[in-house]
Amino acid sequence: MEANARVPEETEAWLAVAQLASAGSEDWLRAAALAGSAAALFAAEPGALCQAGLSEAAIRRLRSFDGWREIESLRACCAKNRIEFVSIAAGGYPAALRRIQDPPVVLYYRGREPSVFDGGVAMVGARRATRYGCRMAHAIARRLAAAGVTVVSGLAYGIDRAAHDGALQAGATVAVLAGGLDNVYPSRHRALFERLVAEHCVISEYPPGIPALARHFPVRNRIITGMTTATIVVEAGERSGSLVSARAALDQGRDVYAVPGNADSPVSRGTNALLRDGAPMLACAKDVDDAFGLSSEAGAVGVLGPENASPAVGAGARGWAAVPGPDHLDLRRVWEVLQSEPRHVDEIVAETRLDGARVLELLTGLEIRGLASCAGPGMFTSLRPPS
């Protein structure tokens, strides 16, 4: 068997290994460590590769690899889309993620280096979340962020969105996507995506051009739990992806916490089952402070206390009047429709008697200002008003 004709430089070697290791990274990373570098794998003899733990099929794929032009194109595509990447051997890679059983070989990111956010807390939950669930996720995330803890989630509807929004009001949050960073999913969260890029970080193990396919989400979740020290499940059904994340976190040696929910709520059955099986409960500010060793000063941001059971407490006309431009009256009309529970766009149109396009414009304005959040396809829920 002829050796690969090209010995690449280290950066492109890691990009090649990431392609070769699409079915699992563990053997490839061990082989690269024994060889001394990723580039050295492409010059190694078959006997050495076999001793390093690569299968015969893997060795054949390595020595016949000819995707260098594709890698050059990938690097050009990343540059065009302002996407950066870091290999597992580089300093910008999160140390906690490096220690899981099957870590990504390469992380693509926009914003600050992922290692800056190493050791945060993951928050996961239902996409079709209840108003209660969104409120709890928002409050817990805000309390953690105010204490300097990075909140990591998945940019999805419902609990993910509420967690990002809450953390952004007080500190840092990171989103991990299930597709390439050139394609925001869900597209309705583009404004949030761009804010995370500008202020914090968005991560994916998938190169640009890869769509967010259903099979990618459980694979993506191991990154959310793997780069954090603990995972909080806010709402989850009996067979939800959030429970898959909880199992992944436990397998990675991370702590798992659960927020209690109504016994008759389908989206609380999974979280209540976690509690029944021994997961620590987060039901009040003291629970959060005790679980994560937070100072009581975290309460200074005024969240998760009895005086702030609803993010809407304290709304006033002066706060809405402070919203720049002439839209504050219409913005307030839409926001007030959302007070009782998450509402569909069609319901908002009917109750406000505003044009459908105008309602969508106003909802986008509320999202950008952190005053409302998407709670599912066509569904929105309110967050706190201007202070």
Indicate whether 302 pLDDT > 70.
no
| Residues 251, 164 share a domain | yes
| Residues 303, 174 share a domain | yes
Q: Percentage of residues in the chain with pLDDT exceeding 70? A: 88
Q: Is the peptide bond before 342 cis (omega within 30 degrees of 0)?
A: no
Chain-centroid distance, C-alpha 74: 23
Indicate whether 171 pLDDT > 80.
yes
* End position of a domain, from candidates 276, 307, 338: 307
| Entry pTM | 0.77
Indicate whether 312 pLDDT > 60.
no
| Residues 349, 328 share a domain | yes
Domain membership of residue 151 (yes or no) is yes
Q: Which helix (H) or strand (E) holds 216?
A: helix 216-226
Q: How far apart are CA 295 and CA 203, in angstroms?
A: 30
Range of the domain at 18: 1-80
| Residues 130, 20 share a domain | no
> What's the pLDDT at 386?
54
Q: Which two tokens stand for residue 210?
A: 């890869």
| Residues 211, 125 share a domain | yes
> What's the pLDDT at 278?
94
Domain membership of residue 101 (yes or no) is no
The whole-chain average pLDDT of the chain stands at 85
Q: How far is residue 184 from each of residues 80, 137, 155, 242, measured CA to CA in Å?
A: 16, 22, 9, 21
Q: Which of these, 124, 180, 131, lies nearest to 154 by C-alpha position? A: 124
3-30 mean pLDDT:
84
Terminus-to-terminus CA distance in the chain, angstroms? Answer: 70
> What's the pLDDT at 319?
52
| Residues 163, 223 share a domain | yes
Query: Which range among 1-5, 49-53, 56-60, 154-158 shows the weakest confidence by mean pLDDT?
Result: 1-5
| Residues 241, 124 share a domain | yes
Domain membership of residue 387 (yes or no) is no
Indicate whether 307 pLDDT > 80.
no
pLDDT digits (tens, 9 = 90+) for 125-165: 999 898 889 889 999 999 999 999 999 999 999 999 999 99
> What's the pLDDT at 52?
80
Query: Which range among 18-27, 110-119, 320-329, 353-362 shows the weakest confidence by mean pLDDT?
Result: 320-329
- Per residue, the 3-state secondary structure of 65-111, as one string, reads CCCHHHHHHHHHHHHHCCCEEEECCCCCCCHHHHCCCCCCCEEEEEE
| Residues 207, 269 share a domain | yes
* End position of a domain, from candidates 279, 307, 335: 307
| Residues 235, 119 share a domain | yes
Amino acid present at 212: A
Domain membership of residue 85 (yes or no) is no
> What's the pLDDT at 99?
92
Instruction: Report the SS3 class of residue 380.
Output: strand
| Residues 322, 257 share a domain | no
* End position of a domain, from candidates 307, 340, 372: 307
Instruction: Report the SS3 class of residue 361.
Output: helix
The half-sphere exposure of 287 on its side-chain side, counting CA atoms within 13 A, is 16
Domain membership of residue 92 (yes or no) is no
Domain membership of residue 89 (yes or no) is no
| Residues 76, 223 share a domain | no
User: Which one is predicted more confidently, 346 or 384?
Assistant: 346
7-13 mean pLDDT:
86
CATH of the domain at 350: 1.10.10.10
Domain membership of residue 103 (yes or no) is no
Chain-centroid distance, C-alpha 58: 32
CATH of the domain at 130: 3.40.50.450
| Residues 324, 303 share a domain | no
Amino acid present at 195: R
Domain membership of residue 139 (yes or no) is yes
Supply the Cα-derived Rg of the chain in whole angstroms: 23
Burial of 115: CB neighbours in 10 Å, binned 0-12, 13-18, 19+: buried
pLDDT digits (tens, 9 = 90+) for 198-218: 999 999 999 999 999 999 999
- The number of domains in the chain is 3
